[in-house]
């Protein structure tokens, strides 16, 4: 029986304020990146890239397939030659 997969978030905070968030689901052999968001006032500072690196750290289990539903995440993975579905 497959376990239900719940949505989780990775957040980038500065001075207690959330400036960026990456939503994902992990389970049943996959790590699915759903979306990335960075506050417009904080864009251009590399926050989305930091969120992606944090997500990839979470996706390091052997055999875990990375799936991207987010255009930014797909471009990030493609640029680095990281296989994803």
82 to each of 2, 28, 34, how far by Cα in Å?
A: 26, 20, 17
Q: What is the pTM of this model?
A: 0.90
**Of 10, 46, 47, which Cα lies nearest the Cα of 25?**
10
Q: If pLDDT is split at 50, 70 and 90, which confidence band does 61 have?
A: confident
Return the sign of the alpha-carbon dihedral for residues 65, 67, 73, 79. positive
Express each pLDDT in 45-57 by its tens digit: 999 999 999 999 9
Cβ contact 33:75 at 8 Å: no
Cβ contact 82:66 at 8 Å: yes
Express each pLDDT in 11-46 by its tens digit: 999 999 999 999 999 988 999 999 999 999 999 999
User: What is residue 3's predicted lDDT score, i.e. its pLDDT?
Assistant: 59
């Amino acid at each position: 029986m497959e376990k239900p997969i719940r949505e989780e978030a990775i957040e980038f905070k500065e001075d207690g304020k959330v400036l960026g968030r990456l939503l994902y689901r992990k389970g049943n052999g996959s790590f699915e990146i759903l979306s990335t968001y960075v506050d417009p006032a904080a864009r251009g500072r590399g926050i989305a890239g930091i969120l992606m690196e944090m997500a990839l750290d979470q996706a390091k289990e052997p055999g875990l397939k990375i799936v991207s539903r987010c255009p930014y995440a797909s471009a990030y993975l493609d640029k680095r030659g990281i296989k994803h579905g």
